[in-house]
Amino acid sequence: MRRFVANGFEITAQEDEIVCIDRKTWGLHWLMIVMGLVAAFVIVFVALAAVGVEELQTDLGREVLVAVPVLLVILIGVSYRTYQRRREQPSEEIEDTLIIDRSAQVVRNRKNEIVAQLPEVQVRMRTDWRTRGMMRVVVLGWPSGHRTIFRTFGRQRGLELLKFLNEWELDAK
């Protein structure tokens, strides 16, 4: 059994199937980081304003300046619980899963609905420009749609996955 795991994506090969899972944690992870940075910035701003740095005096009430980081910390807590729940959810319960079934020559979902015929499927690695080119995404595509099946910071890890998928006779480039 071969397994690739990164950033909430899991690809597991089992007998004649490759199971592609997206736990949808990647966006939550980055959202929590951004909220944490904004909260830290506001806390530093409030602290400096409280000490009396004149350039930082503002017409906003202290209540507003204190409420913003408190609200962000609450939102981070809620996001973190959602993140943990998604990470710990058993893979069999994740509905948004693609299964590449080599014996049936199809790509299907958990409900056994056929998404695409295997000969029509292409696998491509692309630069993810939403991350300013820091990440690579591996995309499964077919005539009527596509789906990101893996996301990684390392180009080499993406190439390993493509090589593995080529061994399964998928059109992976």
Q: What is the DSSP letter of 121?
A: -
pLDDT tens by residue, 23-70? 999 889 889 999 999 988 888 877 777 676 665 566 666 677 778 888
pLDDT tens digits along 125-137: 999 888 888 899 9
| Model pTM score | 0.80
Q: Which residues contact 67 (CB under 8 A, 6 or more apart)?
A: none
Do residues 118 and 141 lie in contact, with contact meaning Cβ atoms separated by under 8 Å? Answer: no
Instruction: Give residue 38's identity as a one-letter amino acid code.
Output: V
Nearest-angstrom CA–CA distance, 8 and 12: 13
Q: What is d(CA 2, CA 75) in angstroms, rounded to the nearest whole number?
A: 37
98 token code pair: 């693609």
CA nearest 60: which of 70, 68, 52? 68
